[in-house]
Structure 1
Amino acid sequence: MLQKFKEDEQTKFWVDNDGVMWFGDRLCVPNDPTLREAVLSEAHSSPFSIHLGSTKMYGNLKQHFWWNGMKQDIATFVGKCLTAG
Structure 2
Amino acid sequence: MEEAQSSRYSIHPCSTKMYRDLREVYWWSSMQRCIAKFVAKCPNCLQVKVEHQKPGGMAQNIDLLEWKWEMINMDFNTGLLLSRKQHDLIWMIVDRMTKSIHFYR
TM-score normalized by structure 2?
0.42
What is the aligned counterpart of 2:6 among 45, 62, 67?
A: 45
Runs (4 or more) in structure 1 with deviation over 4 Å come to none
Partner of 2:97: none
Q: Which runs of 5+ in 2 are unaligned?
A: 47-105
Aligned residues: 46
Partner of 1:64: 25
Which structure is higher in RCO with an 8 Å CA cutoff and minimum separation 6? 1
Pairing 1:77–2:38 present:
yes
Q: Which runs of 5+ in 1 are unaligned?
A: 1-39
Q: Percent identity?
A: 48
Alignment RMSD:
0.9
Alpha-carbon deviation of 1:48? 1.1
Give 1:70's aligned amino acid.
M
Give 2:21's aligned amino acid.
N
Distance 2:25 2:8 in 1: 18
Distance 1:83 1:58 in 2: 18
Task: State which structure, 1 or 2, has the greater radius of gyration over its C-alpha atoms.
Answer: 2
Distance 1:67 1:47 in 2: 25
Alpha-carbon deviation of 1:54? 0.2
Partner of 1:54: 15
